[in-house]
Amino acid sequence: MPQTKLGLDPAVVRRARALARKAAAPVEKLAHTHTTVSVERATLRLAGVTGADATGMPWVNHLVDAVREQVGLEYGVALPVWHALASGEHTDLVAMAEKAATGGVRFALPTGKDAERAAKAARKAVGTGFVRIDRNRRDRNKLLAKLGDPPKPWIYLIVATGDIYEDIPQAQAAAREGADIVAVIRSTGQSLLDYVPEGATREGYAGTYATQENFRLMRAALDDVSRELGRYVRLTNYASGLCMPEIAALAGLERLDMMLNDCMYGIIFRDINPQRTFIDQRFSRAIHARAGIVINTGEDNYLTTADAVDAAHTVIVSQLLNERFGLEAGLQPWQLGLGHAFEINPDIPDSFRLELAHALLVRELFPEAPLKYMPPTKHMSGNVFAGYLLDAFFNLVGVMTGQGIILVGMMTEGIHTPFLSDRDLALENVNYVRNAVGDLAEDFRPAPGGFVVERAHRVLGESVELLQRIVDDGLLDAIADGTFGITKRPADGGKGLDGVVKKADGYLNPASDLLEEGRT
């Protein structure tokens, strides 16, 4: 490890990563030995299953449910589905799914030559999805080479009216005013739906539904404005919740660039079962790795419930775990947009120095990661002038410590959903700070043995101690005890456990096989 501004001990850093690896190992084993209904649905989506019934329930849900009811999912959906398709009674997968919804298809687990034929057909069909994902990755690289990539820190701005056709002009306006990344916030509660809505949507709650068609529409709109501006504008959405693998697949199919994808966010803040989350997360991250998508993790959320000073070490621990889970799934360091936030109470003495210590520690622990730094929210009040100043301090810390992605803070955060005019002022704030500060990150050197350095060393030491306890007690037990974000989530609680299935000997998933074979 190269010499750092904080003088971090390489041996301590290596120990932290070794402990994170040990803590993650049992959960990684769980992910390899189990599947979920969403993993199986994602596999079928990669093979081209689309559409929904009159109630909006996707055909892919009906198909997986029918297979599970008749033969179980222990061997995966691929063998029984493509065996049934080989009968010649169905024109394609969608037609078969429509019949399966009304009990019109009988599934069986093939053996011998029948199983070999089904496996071969499944692999070919799922492979078409990866051909499209791979082409999208190449297209992104071509556009980046042609249009140019903005310098870091990238400016990240949120839009989400609930209506995708209202989101599009807002997103394009944001890009014209300087946003490098546009994030479409997902409709409140979508993470708890065990299906992905179909088509373009015009009604959402504090956000817009994540659907394949909405992804396609927004990507096309941002491509248009990218050509207009002469720089590539990235698109972000959310691969989290009960449909994490499916949404990851759809993001790859529609060339999204970043996805919110945290190892524990859904568990802690949406009460989704921990086992379901970790299994789904592993598959979704393998998809992101293949698609060249950068993930954004959610450590900033811990500090909305826990104290940002007392719980600083839990952020570091979660980042180390997110890094480990990401690398094991095939992500590269440049794809790890690890999250943290400017959430220290501004009334605390030396709050700015504490933020400098925390932000610089994260930067130096993960030198290759495009860190995503989140603005103040917890301590924003109705005083918009104080809020605007606090956002400027946040922007200053972000530039001084070399963060890769800065989410634009809003001075009206504590009052209402920000207006376009609020976003315009917020962009002026971050652009002013970025231009005025310039390359201050190169000049900033905290005093050896001073406040910033000592605080960073203390947080790292506390992180190592917590990781050791997690290794001793188990990560699932640590989550159950409220270690992260103070919320307690037991391993057998929450939503979605009924969708977890232990794999049998002979389990087949061509998507998983192709993902492992395609790792670089």
Q: How far is CA 409 from CA 323, 328, 330, 349, 485, in A?
A: 26, 33, 32, 22, 22
Predicted confidence (pLDDT) at residue 302 exceeds the cutoff of 80: no
What is the pLDDT confidence band of residue 3, given thresholds at 50, 70 and 90?
low
Active site residue 99: no
**Cα separation of the two ends of the chain:** 23
Predicted confidence (pLDDT) at residue 191 exceeds the cutoff of 80: yes
Q: Where are the alpha helices (DSSP H) in 148-243?
A: 164-176, 212-229
Predicted confidence (pLDDT) at residue 298 exceeds the cutoff of 90: no
- Report the alpha-carbon distance of residue 383 to residue 378 in Å, rounded: 13
Q: Range with the lowest mean pLDDT among 35-49, 71-85, 178-192, 215-229?
A: 178-192
3-state secondary structure at position 406: strand
Domains and CATH numbers, the chain: 35-126 (no CATH), 152-455 (3.20.20.440)
Residue 320 CB partners (closer than 8 Å, separation 6+): 16, 17, 19, 20, 365, 463, 467
pLDDT at site 520: 54
| Mean pLDDT value across residues 196-216 | 95
| Mean pLDDT value across residues 393-412 | 94
Closest CA to 252 of 287, 295, 286: 287
Residues 63-93: tens digit of each pLDDT: 999 999 999 999 999 999 999 999 888 889 9
Active site residue 300: yes
pLDDT at site 51: 96
Predicted confidence (pLDDT) at residue 405 exceeds the cutoff of 90: yes
Residue 131 CB partners (closer than 8 Å, separation 6+): none
| Mean pLDDT value across residues 240-244 | 94
3-state secondary structure at position 373: strand
User: Peptide bond before 153: cis, by omega within 30 degrees of 0?
Assistant: yes
What is the pLDDT confidence band of residue 160, given thresholds at 50, 70 and 90?
confident
How do strand 234-238 and strand 258-260 relate by DSSP bridges? parallel
Q: Which structure tokens are listed for 368?
A: 């290759």
Residues 487-520: tens digit of each pLDDT: 899 999 999 999 999 999 999 999 999 999 977 5
Active site residue 372: yes
| Mean predicted lDDT score pLDDT of the chain | 94
CB 330 within 8 A of CB 519: yes
Q: Where are the beta strands (DSSP E) in 128-240?
A: 154-159, 181-184, 234-238
Give 134's Cβ-side CA count (13 Å radius): 11
3-state secondary structure at position 272: strand
**315 burial type by CB count under 10 A (0-12 exposed, 13-18 middle, 19+ buried):** buried
Catalytic residue among 156, 232, 372, 422: 372
Predicted confidence (pLDDT) at residue 304 exceeds the cutoff of 80: no
pLDDT at site 342: 93
In this prediction the pTM is 0.95
Closest CA to 465 of 309, 313, 263: 313
CB 397 within 8 A of CB 359: yes
Q: What is the DSSP letter of 335?
A: G
Catalytic residue among 232, 265, 302, 373: 265
Catalytic residue among 257, 300, 391, 422: 300
pLDDT at site 1: 41
